[in-house]
Amino acid sequence: MDVLAEGAVIPAHPLALGADRKLDERRQRALTRYYLASGAGGLAVAVHTTQFEIREPGIGLLAPVLELAAETIDAEAGRPFIKVAGACGHTAQAVSEAELAASLGYDAVLLSPAVPGADEKGLLDRARAVGEVLPVIGFYLQEAVGGRYLSPSFWSSFADLPNTAAIKTAPFDRYRTADVVRAVAAADRADEVALYTGNDDDIIGDLLTPYETAGGSPRWFAGGLLGQWAVWTGSAVALLDDVRRARAGDHEAMVRCLARRPELTDANSAVFDVRGGFRGCIAGVHEVLRRQGLLEGIWCLDPKEVLSPGQAEEITRVATAYPWLTDDDFVAEYVDDWLS
DSSP annotation string for 267-283: HHHHHTTTTTTTTTHHH
- Are 24 and 299 in contact by the 8 Å Cβ rule? The answer is no
Average pLDDT score over the chain = 95
Give me the CATH code for the 2-339 domain, please: 3.20.20.70
When pLDDT is averaged across residues 67-83 and rounded to a whole number, the result is 97
Q: What integer pLDDT is reported at residue 114 of this predicted model?
A: 85
pLDDT over threshold 90, residue 322: yes
| Helix-helix angle 120-131:91-103, to 10 degrees | 20
Domain ranges of the chain: 2-339
pLDDT over threshold 80, residue 143: no
When pLDDT is averaged across residues 318-325 and rounded to a whole number, the result is 98
pLDDT over threshold 70, residue 47: yes
Number of CB atoms found within 10 A of residue 41's CB? 21
pLDDT over threshold 90, residue 173: no
- The rounded percent of the chain whose pLDDT value lies above 70 is 98
Q: What integer pLDDT is reported at residue 236 of this predicted model?
A: 98
- Are 240 and 229 in contact by the 8 Å Cβ rule? The answer is no
Phi-psi region of 232 (alpha: psi -120 to 50; beta: other; left: phi over 0): left
pLDDT over threshold 70, residue 145: no
When pLDDT is averaged across residues 121-146 and rounded to a whole number, the result is 91
219-260: pLDDT as tens digits: 899 999 999 999 999 999 999 999 999 999 999 999 999 999
Quick one: which of 3, 2, 14, 10 has its CA closest to 286? 14
